[in-house]
Structure 1
Amino acid sequence: MKDPHGESGGTYRNPVLAADWSDPDVIRVGDDFYLTASSFGRVPGLPLLHSRDLVNWRLVGHALRRLEPADRFAVPRPDGGVWAPAIRHHAGRFWIFWGDPDLGIQQVNAPAIHGPWTEPRLVKEGKGLIDPCPLWDDDGAAYLVHGWARSRSGVKNRLTCHRLSPDGERVLDEGRVVVDGDALPGWFTLEGPKFYRRDGWYWIFAPAGSVETGWQGAFRSRSVFGPYEERIVLAQGESEVNGPHQGAWVTTAAGSDWFLHFQHRGAFGRVVHLQPMRWDADGWPAVGSGGEPVPGGPLPVGGLPTQRPATDDDFPDGGFGPQWSWLANPQPGWARSHRGAGLRLGCLPTADAHDLRLLPHVLAQRLPVGPRRVTVELALDAEAPGARAGLTVLGDAFSWIGLERAGDGAVRLVHRFAEQVAERERDAAPPGPAPTGRALLRVDVLADGRCRFAAAAGDADPPVPSGFDFAAVGWGWTGAQLGLFAAAPAGADDAGTATFTRFRVT
């Protein structure tokens, strides 16, 4: 069977990124495409992906090292941090603007995609300022359009445009509402604008109608401040793709137009689809097929090898790949460097050891759309009673399987969970012996988001199923996470470490 994503078949299948790459924005520089996405409270933030064909993507790093203010992001905040960034290339530099809904619009820039990236600069202070996108015009003037978060500002369904200093460092006026969604019959939750210029028209691509069931709108005007006329250019229609919207228009070097957008997939978060885009006789974008999403089609650029963002990790020298992020700003001692393979996490004493949703020192990556099998090997080297470590599927509810040091000094194989309304975990299955302090941990992620846990203590093979099917759920504005953690009860002395090796997603 030919690979529909690769050079052998010449076609692609949606989604092109089958995990939570929320609110994607994409640009082309030469023959290269670059994508960034929302990272919310995860650290590092602002993921950077590279592609040569808009289908095969590789994660090459992050643009944001830490989140500020540091004390606010010392704990997990899946509903805060980096919302809906926009990436642009201007004056020989890469620029990323994003909105922190509690702080304001921020910006970083760099001479190359690998950096070095500047420290964040606050472009406009204020609560509820989200989804910013800059536009540098042909005459040297610059503008910034953004949306509003009602949860912080009391305002929604509006797009506001500012004059922006050409150096991208500050807005130059109070801004003007250029699109009022309340004045458009049937439009609501208008947000996520992206700013473009084409053939004398100013274009704002902006979604509306909610994450689960919304649509993609396009707005155009001969003047940057309007008035703008509107049209819906992509909606679910008779397709199976719910809420197709919020993304990016990009043009290949050969001149073909494409639109990337997300689809909300419950526990898996917002996965990324690619749609062909043309221009109709009236000069409006025609996205997908008849304004509805397509399941796939011919590759935008052929002849390139298949690649996907990395998931597997052998943790050489105690390090970890760019697919991993902490749930908050990291601190010394969370991960210990050493010679040899394996991720060595400190079993940090904390009062929150029984609720993983409160732990900042969970190392996590996106939950891939199933079916997938996830495995990792674990050795618990902590002597403190109550010290534990494991593999988790973590969202607003969580389940984990791993090892724990009992009060009598023995190591037990444990499987625990907590519902969305629960304040602490409880057993999903009776604890079992793990006399060597080692285990192989496994979770099978099904296509509907159910997760089946299994484990084998020591050298036992194969892993034995444990507990019940756990229904993964999202968390804040993110999908569920695959996480590795180590912890100990508050007051534990020299709690020791846990070592994870051979993390695989197959």
Structure 2
Amino acid sequence: MSLFYGNPIIHADYADPDIIRTGGDFWLVSSSFNHVPGLPLLHSRDLIHWTLVNHVVPRLPFAGYDGVQPGKGIWAPSIRYHAGRYWVFFSIPDDGIFVCHSADPLGEWSAPHCLKQVSGWIDPCPLWDDDGRAWLVHAFAYSRSGIKNQLQLIEMAPDASRLLDEGQIIFDGTPSHPTLEGPKLYKRGGEYWIFAPAGGVKRGWQTVLRAARLPGPWESRDVLHQGETPINGPHQGGWVALENGEHWFIHFQDKGLYGRVVHLQPLRWREDGWPLPGEPSDEPGKGQPVLTHRLPGLPYSPCEIQTSDDFADGRPGKQWQWQANPADDWVNPGRPGLRLRCAPMAAWDGAPALYTTPQLLLQKFPAVRFSVCCGVTPDFQRSGDEGGLVVYGERYAALALHQGQDRLLLGLRHGWISERGILTEHWVPVADITDCPPSELACDVGYDGICHFRYRAAGQAWQAVSPRFSAGAGKWVGAKIGLYAASSQRDSGGHVHFDSFTVDSK
């Protein structure tokens, strides 16, 4: 076993991470946007190896989320442990500030409770103070509120049932801290601390604020930046203290089509009282990310985030998410393997479009390079039924089996959405497979998200599909890969059976 770890510790799109420790357990939550189930909960015992153990929000009980709403949904949650319960606060940017809680993080969480119905209040984080009072700090989304770069403090009922006042702005980052957001509020050594990212996701930095009193005045210092490293925009995350006296900071790096991957930085408190995450850089008081570092002083506990799935119980595992709230009949778990119904494909400007089809079953890209392979058997009933393997983002492509009028086809359905919001989608036939349908579909994802689809029938050699495809990020998320069944008909009765989904990371 190596004594060192390398960053990123999670090369998958767990955006806007926050973290707590309870005893020997670490818990991490992240944004999930419009994907369902929402608000993933990860667990670790050594800060390096993680596994996906639950979702806090199984459905999005808000208007419109039975359809696809890219980039909306759950933004920048925070997690805390207080009074024997786990608490997760989050925003739905068009609906308000919400909280869920549970005595058992692996069990059922309470339904989202609205603390404030408002548009544009985002990234909430609570603090229960030593005097029994409770507080909430949050940021603003300019697109909804017209406010930017400011943090607001509000008193909250100690049971997190309601807010007690209208709040006050405690820090204005204009003009020195553009896009100040994602605050995480702490108390240490009798002082109050806010860890908050600034500068935007691609090239930003980590700012820390410090005050003797919650209303302020607040001092600020930028404590982590890219420095001389290849890690762009190291910021937005959470600080955690270990029983052995070590301190660590977890944050994301925006890697474009791969999404916001997770890094772990050592953190020390300087003699002047300020934190320094990472390693010293050439700018005094600022750290830069470590690429490798000695392991935390914790028992080594290897585990991994789930990817491959044999659908043993006929249902998808925790690693899968839909594009919207699922209907009860999208999955028919009548036998081993995953049997997906050919539900109607969504329409865009009156034409069927995969981009806004809610029943895409997707998971995150797990590595820079990887391959997936799925066993597939069609059970089509009407012309227009189809299903297969999809790579999804604002550029997307699917290798799909499609039922024509009198023959079974294999084809590529691909499309893209422009910066002006114009969707273009094409269906390109690859082969007539009526007499020899494929039993397996595969996709090899290489550097920069270059994808090569292939297929084969039982007992035959793999056949490459041209052209190759360049994956693209989604709205605020990385590219995803997965499975789907759909139909141009409203009531087809068709299904696609997938007996496995195997991921091989390079």
Query: Normalized against structure 1, the TM-score is what?
Result: 0.95
- 1:485-506 per-position Cα deviation (integer Å, ceiling 9, x unaligned): 1011134x43311011220110
Which structure 2 segments of 5+ residues have no match? Answer: 281-286
Amino acid at match of 1:265: K
Secondary structure of 1:430 counterpart: strand
Amino acid at match of 1:390: G
Per mean C-alpha deviation after superposition, the further-off stretch among 294-303 and 330-339 is: 294-303
C-alpha separation between the residues in 1 aligned to 2:457 and 2:100?
Answer: 47
Amino acid at match of 2:295: L
C-alpha separation between the residues in 2 aligned to 1:197 and 1:488?
Answer: 55
Amino acid at match of 1:488: S
Match for 1:117 among 106, 109, 118? 109
1:351 Cα deviation (Å)? 5.0
Is the contact made by 2:322 and 2:359 (CA closer than 8 Å) also made in structure 1? yes
Is the contact made by 1:429 and 1:466 (CA closer than 8 Å) also made in structure 2? no
- 1:376-408 per-position Cα deviation (integer Å, ceiling 9, x unaligned): 111111121121001111011110112111111
State yes or no: 1:72 paired with 2:64. Answer: yes
Partner of 1:87: 79
C-alpha separation between the residues in 2 aligned to 1:141 and 1:157?
Answer: 26
Match for 1:270 among 242, 260, 265? 260
1:250 Cα deviation (Å)? 0.5
1:429 Cα deviation (Å)? 5.9
Partner of 1:380: 378
Cα pair distance change 1:466/1:74, threshold 3 Å? same
Partner of 1:330: 326
The 5-angstrom pairing of residues 161-172 of structure 1 reads 161-172=153-164
C-alpha separation between the residues in 2 aligned to 1:351 and 1:402?
Answer: 16
Partner of 2:209: 219
The 5-angstrom pairing of residues 47-446 of structure 1 reads 47-69=40-62, 71-182=63-174, 185-290=175-280, 291-339=287-335, 341-352=336-347, 354-408=352-406, 410-421=407-418, 423-427=423-427, 430-446=430-446
1:414 Cα deviation (Å)? 1.4
1:479 Cα deviation (Å)? 1.0
Secondary structure of 1:118 counterpart: coil
C-alpha separation between the residues in 2 aligned to 1:415 and 1:431?
Answer: 10
State yes or no: 1:31 paired with 2:31. Answer: no
C-alpha separation between the residues in 2 aligned to 1:494 and 1:455?
Answer: 25
1:236 Cα deviation (Å)? 0.4
Is the contact made by 1:354 and 1:425 (CA closer than 8 Å) also made in structure 2? no
Per mean C-alpha deviation after superposition, the further-off stretch among 428-437 and 239-248 is: 428-437
1:163 Cα deviation (Å)? 0.5
Secondary structure of 2:51 counterpart: strand
Q: Percent identity?
A: 44
Is the contact made by 1:201 and 1:221 (CA closer than 8 Å) also made in structure 2? yes
Partner of 1:4: none
1:428 Cα deviation (Å)? 5.1
State yes or no: 1:11 paired with 2:4. Answer: yes
Which structure 1 segments of 5+ residues have no match? Answer: 1-7
Is the contact made by 1:319 and 1:337 (CA closer than 8 Å) also made in structure 2? yes
Secondary structure of 1:379 counterpart: strand
Amino acid at match of 1:420: I
Query: Normalized against structure 2, the TM-score is what?
Result: 0.95
C-alpha separation between the residues in 2 aligned to 1:273 and 1:364?
Answer: 23
Match for 1:498 among 490, 496, 499? 496
Is the contact made by 1:413 and 1:457 (CA closer than 8 Å) also made in structure 2? no
Per mean C-alpha deviation after superposition, the further-off stretch among 201-210 and 364-373 is: 364-373
Partner of 1:453: 453
C-alpha separation between the residues in 1 aligned to 2:81 and 2:70?
Answer: 28
Cα pair distance change 1:278/1:429, threshold 3 Å? farther
- 1:170-192 per-position Cα deviation (integer Å, ceiling 9, x unaligned): 1111101111011xx53200000
Partner of 1:3: none
C-alpha separation between the residues in 2 aligned to 1:223 and 1:458?
Answer: 69
C-alpha separation between the residues in 2 aligned to 1:225 and 1:63?
Answer: 31
Is the contact made by 1:52 and 1:301 (CA closer than 8 Å) also made in structure 2? no
Amino acid at match of 1:481: K
Cα pair distance change 1:98/1:351, threshold 3 Å? closer
Secondary structure of 2:417 counterpart: coil
CA RMSD of aligned residues (A): 1.5
- 1:459-497 per-position Cα deviation (integer Å, ceiling 9, x unaligned): 323x22212232211111111111211011134x43311
C-alpha separation between the residues in 2 aligned to 1:330 and 1:32?
Answer: 32
C-alpha separation between the residues in 2 aligned to 1:386 and 1:497?
Answer: 12
Amino acid at match of 1:29: T
Partner of 2:470: 471
Secondary structure of 2:423 counterpart: coil
Amino acid at match of 1:376: C
Amino acid at match of 2:451: C
1:436 Cα deviation (Å)? 4.4
Secondary structure of 1:151 counterpart: helix
1:294 Cα deviation (Å)? 0.5
Is the contact made by 1:344 and 1:499 (CA closer than 8 Å) also made in structure 2? yes
Is the contact made by 1:25 and 1:85 (CA closer than 8 Å) also made in structure 2? yes
Amino acid at match of 1:361: Q
C-alpha separation between the residues in 2 aligned to 1:374 and 1:350?
Answer: 24
Secondary structure of 1:160 counterpart: strand
Amino acid at match of 1:166: P
C-alpha separation between the residues in 1 aligned to 2:253 and 2:411?
Answer: 35
Cα pair distance change 1:280/1:351, threshold 3 Å? closer
Partner of 2:284: none
Secondary structure of 1:116 counterpart: coil
1:434 Cα deviation (Å)? 4.9
Cα pair distance change 1:301/1:431, threshold 3 Å? farther
Amino acid at match of 1:267: L
> How many residue pairs are counted as aligned between the two chains?
492
1:349 Cα deviation (Å)? 2.8
Is the contact made by 2:346 and 2:354 (CA closer than 8 Å) also made in structure 1? no
C-alpha separation between the residues in 1 aligned to 2:432 and 2:265?
Answer: 50
- 1:195-244 per-position Cα deviation (integer Å, ceiling 9, x unaligned): 00000110000000010000000000000111100000100011000000
Per mean C-alpha deviation after superposition, the further-off stretch among 493-502 and 389-398 is: 493-502
